[in-house]
Amino acid sequence: MLKRKDLLGLKDITAEEMEEILSTAVQMRKILDQNVKKTPHLQGKSVTTLFYENSTRTRTSFETAAKIMGANTTSISAQTSSVTKGETLIDTGKNLDALLTDVIIMRHSMSGAPHLLAKNVKASVINAGDGMNEHPTQALLDIYTMKEKFGDIKGLKVVIAGDVKHSRVARSNIWGLRKLGAEVTVCAPKTLLPAGIEETDVSVSTDLDDCIAGANVVMGLRLQLERQQAGLFPSAAEYNAYYGLNAARLDKADGDAILMHPGPVNRGLEIGSDIADCEQSYILRQVTNGVAVRMAVLFLLTRAKQQ
Amino acid sequence: MSLLIKNGMVVCGDETVDADVYAEGSKIVKIGANLDCAADNVIDASGKIVMPGFVDMHCHLREPGQEYKEDIASGSAAALRGGFTSVACMPNTVPPIDNAALVKYVLTRAAEVDRAKVYPIGCITKHQQGKEIAEMGFMKENGAVAFSDDGRPVENANIMRLALEYASGLKTLIISHSEDKQLAADGVVNEGLNSTVSGLKGITRAAEECMVSRDVILAETLGARIHIAHVSTRGSVEIIRQAKARGVAVTCETCPHYFSATDDEILNYNTNSKINPPLRLQSDVEAIIEGLRDGTIDAIATDHAPHHADEKNLEFNLAPFGTSGFETAFSLAYTNLVETDIIDIAALSKLMSANPAKILGIGSGEIKEGERADIVVIDPEKSYTVDSSKFVSKGKNSLFNGWKLKGAVEYVIVDGMQKEIKNYDR
């Protein structure tokens, strides 16, 4: 049974803990499908989103999850908080503790920031994305979506294509999917692959047409156009030609394959509009499932603390 | 004043001898078995090792300008506690030590506080800007023992070439902080599997090795001397090994953390493991140890980099680079190099005393008759757990906090005078 205070990443949780979150999420998903979307799981709890980076999807998803479960929610953005006055992360966290916050959901541009916060506060900390490190609830909702479609993760062929080097979504998926027995391939130009990735137990490819063959899940990643100025790829056109997901490429995957993307999507760069909205695209389903997964995480962490 | 250290195992050059050491005033007068001398101060060193005081050719005392991190009083006291009787401090203070007046200031302060001897290193370029060479002649005349823009590389190869040429005419030493900033690209840890696992931005080893290569080639072309600071990679060791074989006048140092720890330390985002150059891989640790064993690496320096707790208690990316180093250096070297039978105590002594003293040209660094009586007495059997909160240094930022180490500094003598050092157990 999940007994931890914080959810910081999938790197350091067990397959059993992941399974518990996923099976709880199945129950939560049922609540979302009801006519009246309300449950008292988090009544009397205070949940704060503390975002040092912009986000629409993740923040709204967490807030929706918390509100459906009856929590009091507060949201803090770095731009409008005392952070701009020079307050340290630890001081901000201790103040949230003093405000009797039960859960802090944090996004931060620096890897390890949630770990620093978690060590210094009594509240549960949920990592909603830290630098290039992890985005555990995104990977959990991705895995939930795969499970929903295929039943079992074990043996599933998952291709993650795009800017793996800078992607916390890719990392969390790699750690989570490998623990559950999926076969993971990452695909990108060498300049967008992280150092030492070949030393992990994922397959590494620079040829999308080759590695996409027979895949069950094709996951695209967002590519920031600033990476071009930094010299990591020559042009949007060349990137799209070699690494863009399109109908022709998706055809090479397994006939029953699904297309996923954590959003926000760059249409015409990493993913073509011809497939972004096709039947195989699970991109919006991921978003709905995200609410259920976050409800499960919020519930399990607050329950763990009560005991 | 006279001093007699009795019954110790004395490190004399390549050998260790069971002997007494007798000093009068600031000089060692006699070394021999069962010396029959009356002395004002007698130290019983039975079961202990008597070594030349350690010489640290690379540390940061932070004064002037950053006294909240460390100052000359606290830093030179921490040095003594670590067994260092002489330390050479880097000039990246605020303002940087790039003129004779500041060199004099450091020497004056060090004389006032009268702890470890302090030898200032001056900047290579004015304000460490890498644009115009600083007044090395005036600084040398006033006591600077070497020149470095440590903390920053001299990025412009032509300026480095001119600095090496100018310094060689002054018969002084340039110390290179070898880092290609473009390649390092704002990284914070070693680039490799662990940078990927932690999501922290990596620094390629090429950032160090390209600069080591450049500076070795410049020195070779000009026939000038160069010293490479804080060598951390297998590649750098190999470049220097080959250069030495060709007869290039290159020397180099490494630091205890590069032979004691790997980048596994960064995985829990411990900001005390954020060091520049970064902690590397086990294969690098092994290459550094081999370099120490075969003489490619000349010296062990601390790169003592004290910081305030408030600065280290931040997000990993925001915390400054560096670990406090004075008070763990000897024990780390003894535990990891001598206890493991990689080198003997006489070889360690050379790395920590005679070699750096010779590279800097400051004399001492050996126990012999007529030499300055800078001496440490070591208890080789003492095991202890590092508690950085008890450090004499203001910098409690030790990567080694909580580590179990062996070999402890018991007595420290500077110029024949026994110095009081803190007892951590009390």
A96-144 pLDDT, tens digit per residue, is: 999 999 999 999 999 999 999 999 999 999 999 999 999 999 999 999 9
How much is the average pLDDT of A8-32? 97
Cβ distance of A131 and B317 shorter than 8 Å? yes
| C-alpha to C-alpha distances, B209 to B102, B150, B155, B229, B248, nearest whole angstrom | 32, 16, 14, 12, 17
pLDDT value for B299: 98
Element (DSSP H or E) covering residue A287: helix A283-306
Q: What is the mean pLDDT of residues B95-100?
A: 98
Kindly state the average pLDDT of the residues A223-248: 92
Whether A82 has a pLDDT exceeding 80, the answer reads: no
Supply the CATH number for residue A207's domain.
Answer: 3.40.50.1370
Please tell me whether residues A155 and A118 are part of one structural domain: no
**Cβ contacts of B184 on chain A, cutoff 8 Å:** none
Number of domains in chain B: 1
Instruction: Please check whether residue B136 lies inside any domain of the structure.
Output: yes
A196 to chain B, any CB pair closer than 8 A? The answer is yes
Residues B61-74: pLDDT tens digits?
999 999 999 999 99
Q: Tell me which residue of B53, B147, B2, B84 sits closest to B364, measured CA to CA.
A: B53
CATH code of the domain in which B265 resides: 3.20.20.140
> Is residue B410 situated within a structural domain?
no
Q: Is A7 a member of any domain?
A: no
For the beta carbon of residue A81, count every other beta carbon within 10 angstroms. 15
Q: How many CB pairs under 8 A join A and B?
A: 68
How far is the C-alpha of B185 from the C-alpha of B208, rounded, in Å? 12
Query: Closest residue of A to B317, CA-based?
Result: A110
Q: A246: pLDDT confidence band, cut at 50, 70 and 90?
A: very high
Q: Tell me how close the Cα of A220 comes to any Cα of chain B, in angstroms.
A: 19
Q: What is the pLDDT of residue B78?
A: 98
Which residues make Cβ contacts (< 8 Å) with residue A37, sequence separation at least 6? Answer: A31, A68
pLDDT confidence tier of residue A227, bands split at 50, 70 and 90: confident
Q: Residue B414: CB partners within 8 Å, gap ≥ 6?
A: B53, B80, B85, B115, B116, B117, B374
The answer to whether the Cβ–Cβ distance between B195 and A194 falls below 8 Å is yes
What pLDDT is recorded for position B229?
98
In a domain, A227, yes or no: yes
Q: Is residue B84 part of a domain?
A: yes
Is the Cβ–Cβ distance between A111 and A133 less than 8 Å?
yes
Cβ contacts of A190 on chain B, cutoff 8 Å? none
Provide the pLDDT confidence category of residue A145 given band limits of 50, 70 and 90.
very high
Q: What percent of chain B has pLDDT over 70?
A: 100
Whether B303 sits among the annotated catalytic residues: the reply is yes
Distance CA A107, CA A52 (A): 6
Task: Please state, rounded to an integer, the average pLDDT across all residues of chain B.
Answer: 97
Q: Which residues of B touch A168 (CB under 8 A)?
A: 199
Candidate from B202, B269, B318 with C-beta closest to A195: B202
Tell me whether residue A230 is in a domain: yes
Is B304 inside a domain boundary? yes
All residues of chain A having their beta carbon less than 8 Å from the beta carbon of residue B317 are: 110-111, 131
Cα(B194)–Cα(A234) distance, rounded to whole angstroms?
Answer: 28
**Structure tokens of A84?**
């701009």
User: DSSP letters of A174-215?
Assistant: HHHHHHTT-EEEEE--GGGSPTTGGGTTSEEES-HHHHTTT-
Q: pLDDT at residue B149 above 90?
A: yes
* A70 and chain B in contact, CB less than 8 A: no
* A60 and A142 belong to one structural domain: no
Please tell me which residue in B303, B341, B344, B387 is annotated as part of the active site. Answer: B303
Q: Do A133 and B196 touch (CB under 8 A)?
A: no
- Say yes or no to pLDDT of B180 above 90: yes
**pLDDT above 80 for A81:** no
- pLDDT digit string (tens) for B332-356? 999 999 999 999 999 999 999 999 9
Same domain, A173 and A68: no
Q: What is the ipTM of this complex?
A: 0.94
Q: What is the pLDDT of residue A307?
A: 58
Judged by a CB distance cut-off of 8 A, whether residue A135 touches chain B is no
> For chain A, what is the total number of helices (H) and then of strands (E)?
12, 9
Domain for residue B387, yes or no? no
The predicted model gives B81-103 an average pLDDT of 98
User: Is the same domain home to A210 and A175?
Assistant: yes
Whether residues B192 and A132 touch (CB distance < 8 A) is answered with no
Using CB atoms, pick whichever of B192, B269, B313 lies closest to residue A196: B192
- Rounded Cα distance, B101 and B112, in Å: 16
For the residues B404-417, what does the mean pLDDT come to?
98
Check if A11 contacts B (Cβ < 8 Å). yes
DSSP state of B268: G
* pTM of this structure: 0.95
Mean pLDDT, all residues of chain A: 95
Query: Among A11, A88, A89, whose Cβ lies nearest the Cβ of B197?
Result: A11
Q: Which range marks the domain in which residue A235 is found?
A: 136-286
Q: Do A116 and B195 touch (CB under 8 A)?
A: no
Tell whether the model's pLDDT for residue A14 goes beyond 70: yes
User: For residue B70, is it within any domain?
Assistant: yes
What is the pLDDT at residue A306?
66
Model pLDDT, residue A305: 67
Q: Domain total for chain A?
A: 2
Is residue B279, in this structure, part of any structural domain at all?
yes
Distance of CA B252 to the CA centre of its chain: 11
Domain hosting B300: range is: 53-360
Collect all residues of chain B within an 8 Å Cβ-Cβ radius of residue A10: none
The residue of chain A with its CA nearest to that of B267 is A112
Residues B152-168 have a mean pLDDT of 97
On whether both A83 and A118 belong to a single domain, the answer is yes
Domain assignment present for A1 = no
Residue B426 has a pLDDT of 76
Q: Where are the alpha helices (DSSP H) in A89-163?
A: 89-98, 113-120, 136-150
Give per-residue pLDDT as tens, B182-220: 999 999 999 999 999 999 999 999 999 999 999 999 999
Compute the residue count for chain A.
307
**Interchain CB distance below 8 Å, B200 and A168:** no
Mean pLDDT of B357-382: 96
Strand partners, A134: A130
Backbone angles phi, psi at B416, to 5 degrees: 80, -5
Measured between beta carbons, which residues in chain B are less than 8 angstroms from residue A227? none
Note the pLDDT tens digit of each residue in A58-80.
999 999 999 999 999 999 988 76
Distance between the two ends of chain A, CA-based, in angstroms?
A: 11
Is the pLDDT at B236 greater than 70? The verdict is yes
Cα–Cα dist B89/B367, whole Å: 24
User: Cα–Cα distance between B254 and B263 in angstroms, integer?
Assistant: 16
